[in-house]
Amino acid sequence: MSNHPPPLLGLARLLDAVNARLGKACAWLTLFLVIGTATVVVLRYGFGIGATALQEAVLYGHALVFMGAAAWVLQRNGHVRVDIFYQKFSYRRQALVEVFGTLLFLLPVCLFLGWSSWDYVGNSWKTLEASSESGGLKFVYLQKSIILVLVISLVLQGISDLIKSVYILTGRLPEPEVKHG
């Protein structure tokens, strides 16, 4: 018997690793958010100096922290769940809930968000949209692209969770690998 996981399970683990790496990288941006915000405050109120570009960079970082790490948080079961039954379900029943939740809620919402934001992001790239503020950053189009990072990473995590859930439902993955809570 081979030590390699079945191909689809290997794909799920690869997707998990990609989202974990992205999420951890985005989580480190919180340090920049604290330092950047403190610097903006000190410059503005201590020295009367406006730091528009830094302030906008903090906003970009804030967006990336929340949208870039969303799939990693989903992977780690960190999103808020309002349920009283799920935690008491067997792993197989939890996997079934994951399949239906992913197919009925996560993927349709992601696809709608991607579809509805495509022109918004695309138009920003066409014009290489820049900040309207004097001294602001020249790449608003990159900030708007973070929406697509959110969509793509959540779709990939949804696919990973579907694969693992199907393996649990078919009895080919006995460990509770769908969610670590």
pLDDT score recorded for residue 151: 97
Distance CA 34, CA 42 (A): 12
Instruction: Tell me the pLDDT tens digit for each residue of 137-166.
Output: 898 999 999 999 999 999 999 999 999 999
Domain ranges of the chain: 7-77+84-169
Listed residue (148, 170, 168, 3) closest to 90, CA to CA? 168
Residue % of the chain over a pLDDT of 70: 92
Q: What is the CA radius of gyration of the chain?
A: 20
pTM: 0.86
pLDDT score recorded for residue 87: 79
Distances (CA, A) of 33 to 55, 62, 63, 64: 10, 7, 11, 11
User: Which has the higher per-residue pLDDT, 176 or 138?
Assistant: 138
pLDDT score recorded for residue 80: 72
pLDDT score recorded for residue 180: 46
Which of 49-53, 75-79, 92-96 is the least confident region? 75-79
Residue 85 CB neighbours (<10 A) = 9
Instruction: Tell me the pLDDT tens digit for each residue of 98-127.
Output: 999 999 999 999 999 999 999 999 999 999
Distances (CA, A) of 77 to 8, 85, 86, 169, 179: 21, 16, 12, 19, 6
pLDDT score recorded for residue 34: 96
Instruction: Tell me the pLDDT tens digit for each residue of 56-91.
Output: 999 999 999 999 999 999 999 877 766 778 778 888
